[in-house]
């Protein structure tokens, strides 16, 4: 993938992360002359319409959110067999990396990070979106110490009292709520 140009616009520069369904790359956006993060669906899911729908849904769900503690979505597209989401590139580390590096966080840092996450989730909830996969891996701490929530890949839209999803329970088992693990609301 390195040095590949997507849609004659995004030059893929380096692999910076990944998960169960996608890899994330740092890239250069030639149109706006800025660095971006590109989340690219794993090749084994290219022909899986459920995963492609879920992937597109992530982009649509997160794109309607605009908050300083949520990673911005800039674009969504496909180039050949590559389906991707273009996001704000956040220079920093995940909360998991910070905890692994520092161990126990001091109280001031812990409270600041928690407040940032809570404000991001409040904004998402006000826009009828429940993240469903909050964990240290999905929180990026900027070099300025601001926490940003990312990866709305399994978010659920909430309408009145009904939660819609894709019919399966997915997420990170270590961070499931008991209700989610049972398949409930």
Which of 7, 133, 144, 151 does the annotation list as catalytic? 133
Cβ-contact 122, 115 below 8 angstroms: no
| CA Rg value for the chain | 17
- 178: phi then psi, degrees, rounded to nearest 5: -55, -35
The helix/strand/coil state of 5 is strand
The residue to which tokens 């949520």 are assigned: 70
29 counts as catalytic: no
Helical spans, DSSP H, in the chain = 49-63, 95-102, 107-126, 178-181
Q: Cα–Cα distance between 36 and 33 in angstroms, integer?
A: 10
DSSP 8-state symbol, 68: T
Q: Are strands 10-18 and 156-159 parallel, antiparallel or unpaired?
A: unpaired
Residues with active-site annotation = 133
């Amino acid at each position: 993938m390195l040095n590949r140009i997507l849609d004659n616009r995004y030059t893929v520069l380096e692999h910076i992360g990944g998960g169960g369904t996608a890899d994330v790359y740092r890239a250069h956006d030639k149109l706006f002359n800025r660095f971006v993060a590109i989340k690219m669906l794993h090749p084994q899911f290219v022909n899986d319409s459920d995963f492609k729908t879920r992937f597109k849904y992530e982009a649509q769900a997160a794109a309607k959110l605009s908050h300083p503690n949520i990673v911005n979505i800039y674009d969504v597209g496909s180039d050949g067999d590559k389906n991707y989401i273009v996001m704000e590139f956040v220079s920093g580390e995940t909360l998991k990396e910070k905890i692994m590096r520092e161990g126990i966080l001091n109280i001031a840092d812990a409270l600041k990070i928690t407040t940032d996450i809570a404000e991001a989730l409040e904004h998402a909830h006000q826009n009828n979106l429940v993240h469903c996969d909050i964990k240290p891996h999905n929180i990026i701490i900027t070099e300025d110490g601001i926490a940003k929530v990312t990866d709305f890949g399994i978010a659920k839209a909430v309408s009145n009292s009904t939660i819609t999803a894709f019919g399966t329970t997915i997420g990170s088992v270590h961070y499931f709520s008991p209700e989610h693990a049972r398949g409930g609301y």
